[in-house]
Amino acid sequence: MTSPVPSKAASPADKEAHKPSNFLRHIIEKDLLDSTYAQRFWGGSPGDAAHHAAGQPDPAKVRMRFPPEPNGYLHIGHAKSICLNFGLAREYGGVCHLRFDDTNPEKEDKEYVNSIIDAVKWLGFGWENNGESNLYQASDYFDFMYRAAEFLIESGQAYVDEQSADDMRHNRGDFGHPGTNSPYRSRTPAENLARFIEMRDGKHEDGAMVLRAKIDMTSPNINLRDPAIYRIRRATHHNTGDKWCIYPMYTFAHPIEDALEQITHSICTLEFEDQRPFYDWLLERLCEGGLVATPHPRQYEFARLNLTYVLTSKRKLAQLVYDHKVTGWDDPRMPTIVGLRRRGYTPEAIQLFAERIGVTKSDSWIDYSTLEGCLRETLDGSAPRAMAVLDPIKLVLTNWDEVMGGAMLDDCSAPVHPHHPDLGKRKFQIGKEVWIERTDFEETPPKGFFRLFPGNKVRLKYGHVIECTGAIKDEAGNLTSVAATIIPDTKSGTPGSDAVKVKGVITWVGVHDALPAEVRLYERLFVEAHPEAGGKDFIENLNPNSLKVLNAFVEPSLAAAKADDKFQFERHGYFAADRVDHAAGKPVFNLAVGLKDGWGK
């Protein structure tokens, strides 16, 4: 089989020129115009203010980052964020860091780290710049974070609070009520520092006390009411082992990670909007203290991707895996990047999807069909064509011997791709018996049915016109095969072959040369567009018909198909040879996406 061809898509320059603008592009363009970040230095690696000051003017015009927590496999929502961050960096002469946000010791795993690296690469992005690999892990910054915490303590801007968790919650107040100062809030820096060192040295139980930023217990933004920034947690970390028994809170760690990496535009989802004041407060303090370089990074929020019929939460996807509702993270029904890939999705399709849905500042739902449309569009120009009969019934051409003058088989051919004649032709043969789709025959046709029924003529695609003569049944009356006669001189591509007009064309494969294949048809994983609507458990909304396994026949050219190859099965849709189970002699194809207008013609 010929390998897939590049689609006749626009050149990269064309594509850039036609990208619609959005609020993030506006922000970056304005910063570039105003030279907001033009004076920055880059120390060649993440570091504090002094480290960067000793470096070079930053060769990267902007620095973005994609900061996944390695606690599961990435999904289509992350793909949106990857395309956005790496895409914007590429577009504006910058670089995007891949940063593992691994400050939470308990949930993370090396398996996930590797899968995330694979996913970003597969999507077509990299983190290299000027020979530097901008692949980082937040846990490498624990020492600096500790130093930053000590700085806040020493400058009177953080304190160790020993209130119980309940008291702390109660004293925080709520939207209608200001908070109340902790009795520990007025301790001296020296007392706080001594306590914090004890926390670090394991002198106190988990949860006995926390370090809090000292901001304003009456702030209308509850996130500024002395947020906790360090807690005691005896847990082994996959990178730092047992070195630490205190860990920074996410809201403290994240701005620091951005600042050490000299990120210019830190893009996150809308739920962090209320955290932005603390992000700025913290980095302003650390800039004042000369700990991190100025100007400090800025956070911008965009709407997360919500896709109908899909869950975009690593935790919930993990539940599907561990409860065996799917076969694994890479089950082709999963919205994970590994699942989509196995299903037959391409990086181009996912990039197109990310571009098409754009970025906005308000949450909304994207219809699943938008994603499918992107796959169809990107595969149409490149996927070689093939015929496959998914639900086979035998068609017997009863007058074959008379019409064909003793020949057992007749050669047929079809283009590998209708728009790429240069790719050549597929060859196969027609004989007295062929497989056709069961649904292409009706003994008593419903109105508007143009395919096989007694007395009707159709064309066998790339073959001859035939006339149906009836059904062949067993003693119990079950249909065993369909009978038809072949109309002489009608073979496609021969002179005068279209003299006999027909309304229907059906696909087929020869019984003598068809290749048996397992075909896996997928439907949406959930029956409800919003699997959790009305507080329902998503498990109850699983679609019991999301996988159907068929014993199909495919045309002989597919004997050369390799794992991951994509094809259009004519009239059916786009299929991918399964990355895991497909093998020569044991072909397995996954339905990636159906054709828009497959059936009924």
Nearer residue to Mg ion within complex by CB, 65 or 572: 65
Residues 254-273 as x/- pattern, contact with ligand ATP by CB under 6 A: --------------xx----
Residue with tokens 């076969």: 327
Only one of the segments 21-29, 66-74, 284-292, 379-387 lies at the binding site for Mg ion (rule: CB under 5 A); that segment is 66-74
The option from ligand ATP, Mg ion, none interacting with 268 (CB < 5 to 8 A, set by class) reads ligand ATP
Q: How far is the CB of 314 from ligand ATP (least distance, A)?
A: 4
d(CA 312, CA 309): 10
Distance CA 406, CA 431 (A): 11
Q: How far, in Å, CA of 572 to CA of 582, rounded?
A: 20
Does position 304 interact with ligand ATP (CB under 6 A)? The reply is: yes
Q: Is the Cβ–Cβ distance between 348 and 531 less than 8 Å?
A: no
Residue 28 or 119: the one with the smaller Cβ distance to Mg ion is 119
Classify the C-alpha dihedral 349-353-355-356 as positive or negative: positive
- Looking at beta carbons, which residue is closest to ligand ATP? 77
Stretch touching Mg ion by CB under 5 A, among 63-71, 252-260, 315-323, 580-588: 63-71
- Residue 257's nearest CA partner among 405, 100, 474 is 100
Cβ proximity to ligand ATP, 22 vs 269, nearer residue? 269
Residue nearest to Mg ion (CB): 69
Does 314 help bind ligand ATP (rule: CB under 6 A)? yes
Which partner, ligand ATP, Mg ion, none, binds residue 571 by CB below 5 to 8 Å per kind? Answer: none
- Residue 80 as a binder of ligand ATP (CB under 6 A): the answer is yes
**Residue 531 token pair:** 């699997």
532 carries an active-site annotation: no
Partner from ligand ATP, Mg ion, none binding residue 160, C-beta < 5-8 Å depending on class: none
578 φ/ψ sector (left φ>0, alpha ψ -120 to 50, else beta)? beta
Beta bridge partners of 441: 452
Alpha-carbon distance 294 to 316, whole Å? 39
304 catalytically annotated: yes
| Identity of the residue numbered 321 | V
Nearer to ligand ATP, 81 or 264 (CB): 81
- 70: preceding bond cis by omega (within 30 degrees): no
Q: Please give the Cα distance from 353 to 459 (Å, whole number).
A: 37
- Which entry of 314, 342, 451, 491 is annotated as an active-site residue? 314
Instruction: Please tell me whether residue 335 binds ligand ATP under the rule CB under 6 A.
Output: no
| Catalytic residue flag (residue 108) | no
As measured in angstroms, the least distance from the Cβ of 219 to Mg ion is 25
Tokens of 491: 């073979």
- The correct pick among 164, 221, 313, 551 for binding ligand ATP (CB under 6 A) is 313
Q: In which order are the strands placed within the sheet that holds 573-577?
A: 385-386, 566-569, 573-577, 588-594, 515-522, 547-554, 388-389
Measured in degrees and rounded to the nearest 5, phi and psi for residue 247 equal: -130, 145
- Which 50-79 positions form the footprint of ligand ATP (CB under 6 A)? 67-69, 77-78
**Residue with smaller CB distance to ligand ATP, 269 or 492:** 269
Asked if 24 contacts 300 with a C-beta cutoff of 8 angstroms, the reply is yes
Q: Which is nearer to ligand ATP, 312 or 319 (CB)?
A: 312
Please report how many Cα atoms fall inside a 13 Å half-sphere around the Cα of residue 202, on the Cβ side.
6
Residue in 25, 61, 69, 523 annotated catalytic:
69
Asked if residue 69 binds Mg ion (CB under 5 A), the reply is: yes
Residue 510 tokens, joined: 């020869």
Residues noted as catalytic: 69, 304, 314
Site residues, ligand ATP (CB under 6 A): 67-69, 77-78, 80-81, 268-269, 304-305, 312-314
Site residues, Mg ion (CB under 5 A): 69
